[in-house]
Amino acid sequence: MFAVLLSTLMDFDRTRAVTRLISIPLLMFLWANLHGGFILGFVPVGIWAVLYALDQDAPVEVRLAPAIALVAAVVATLINPYGVGLWKFLWRTVSMNRRDIDEWWSILSAERALLVLWSTTALIAIAGVRWHGRPLRWPRTGLVAVLALASFRVNRLDAFFAIATIMLFGQPLSRFLTRRERTSPPKELSRAFVTATVAAAMCTAAAVLLRAQPESNGCVDRASWLPEQDATDFVARNHLHGRMVVFFNWGEYVLWQFRHDLTVSTDGRRETVYSDRQINGHLELYRGTDSGLTYFHQLNADYAWLPTESPAVDKLRAEGWVEIYARDRSAILARPSLVPAGGYIVPAARCYPGPGARTSPLSAGFWRVTY
């Protein structure tokens, strides 16, 4: 949707035909009924509306068209099953300070690969502005600058930054590079631009190296935010079924693997499915607080699948819950009355070459919990 919206605005940019903007309210209507990320669509439309309104050289209808499209788009998003309630929900839940979710962290706190990708996109954007030619189209430059800053602050926006950069500056860069190939001798770049580009590359490399951490020489395992593979095998081979309290990051994984056997207490859908009380109750449980344990007992769970390092694991064991599986990353506890007399089948650890890698799901997962 974002790419289609940008394409529409670029078409208007090129032709100045106000009829090109008629599709924007329809796009925003569809987007609002498909995904809450529709609010990002108002960023480019808003920038176009403001900068075109300030363009004294454009005809009146061209200056006003983006603003009219913006107002119509806002009205269109109200046509949904919740009406204005959709906007109220986003107002409550969308924030730049979601410190408990990795994707809301700064790009400097994200995985190194994301930092490299963001820096590469930023260099492409700088080159695009440098080689765009004149006159410079300020709505395009303004949008890329806003998305660069926003994605630096909230790393989950990096995809929008990349899409905008490639769509808005890809063609000028392609024309410039093609022209350079045909020109003999090639035009020299300014010393200032070369210096700035090299400095940016060096800063990127330094940031990556500073964030680098020695890799574990232990288990070659799958993504660190998932529980161990043999934990999944344990649940499957012992046919666990019933109500299971899970760590937030693992909820959708457990649903995917055991949707016919287990009912999970939470998953990545967060506020769209679960109340604030449920979300906060799980956070308190992971921290092992008294209120968290009280909430746990209210859930009337049969099993708990939690990170091994969570204080709740020791406290549940002290209350009589039976630890039926335990590895470096996760532990599964069962209500005593459910433990079979013959015990459980414990599969061998599926790991090469040795003990499990000690990667903490609480520090490497999507939802970060601090004690």
Q: What is the pLDDT of residue 306?
A: 95
Does some domain include residue 218? no
Q: What is the pLDDT of residue 322?
A: 95
Q: What is the pLDDT of residue 370?
A: 46
Interhelix angle 290-298/276-287, rounded to 10 degrees, is 120
- CB-based burial of residue 200 (10 Å sphere; 0-12 exposed, 13-18 middle, 19+ buried)? middle
Same domain, 143 and 168: yes
Q: What is the pLDDT of residue 332?
A: 95
Q: How far is CA 65 from the centre of its chain?
A: 33
Average pLDDT over residues 39-54: 93
Task: Indicate whether 354 pLDDT > 70.
Answer: no
Band of residue 76 on the pLDDT scale cut at 50, 70, 90: very high
Does some domain include residue 165? yes
Same domain, 62 and 131: no
Same domain, 260 and 354: yes
Q: What is the pLDDT of residue 133?
A: 58
**Among residues 94, 123, 148, which one ends one of the domains?**
94
Band of residue 77 on the pLDDT scale cut at 50, 70, 90: very high
Same domain, 168 and 179: yes
Q: Please, are residues 248 and 264 in contact by the beta-carbon 8 Å criterion? A: no
| Model pLDDT for residues 182-194, shown as the tens digit of each residue | 554 545 545 555 5
| Model pLDDT for residues 277-299, shown as the tens digit of each residue | 998 999 999 999 999 999 999 99
Same domain, 137 and 155: yes
Band of residue 181 on the pLDDT scale cut at 50, 70, 90: low
Same domain, 283 and 350: yes
Higher pLDDT, 120 or 349: 120
| Model pLDDT for residues 316-334, shown as the tens digit of each residue | 999 999 999 998 899 999 9
Does some domain include residue 17? yes
Residue that is written with structure tokens 């899970």 in the block: 246
Does some domain include residue 224? no
- What is the C-alpha separation between 144 and 166, in angstroms, rounded? 10
Q: How far is CA 64 from the centre of its chain?
A: 35
Q: Which residues of 334-369 are buried (b: 16+ CB within 10 A; e: fewer)?
A: bbeeeeeeeebeebebebeeeebbebbbbeebebbb
Task: Indicate whether 360 pLDDT > 50.
Answer: no
**Among residues 66, 94, 122, which one ends one of the domains?**
94
Q: How many residues in total does the chain contain?
A: 371
Q: How many domains does the structure of the chain reveal? A: 3
Q: What is the pLDDT of residue 13?
A: 87
Does some domain include residue 316? yes
- CB-based burial of residue 221 (10 Å sphere; 0-12 exposed, 13-18 middle, 19+ buried)? buried
Same domain, 36 and 113: no
Task: Indicate whether 367 pLDDT > 60.
Answer: no
pTM above 0.75, yes or no: no
Structural domain boundaries, residue 308: 229-364
Which segment, 64-73, 129-138, 151-160, 228-237, is predicted with the most confidence on average? 64-73
- What is the C-alpha separation between 98 and 255, in angstroms, rounded? 25
Band of residue 301 on the pLDDT scale cut at 50, 70, 90: very high
Q: What is the pLDDT of residue 282?
A: 93
Does some domain include residue 139? yes
- What is the C-alpha separation between 339 and 348, in angstroms, rounded? 20
Q: What is the pLDDT of residue 261?
A: 94
Band of residue 50 on the pLDDT scale cut at 50, 70, 90: very high
Q: Which of 13-27, 248-262, 277-291, 340-354 has the lowest mean pLDDT?
A: 340-354
Of 257, 216, 224, 225, nearest to 240 by C-alpha is 257
Q: What is the pLDDT of residue 99?
A: 62
Band of residue 224 on the pLDDT scale cut at 50, 70, 90: low
Average pLDDT over residues 201-229: 56
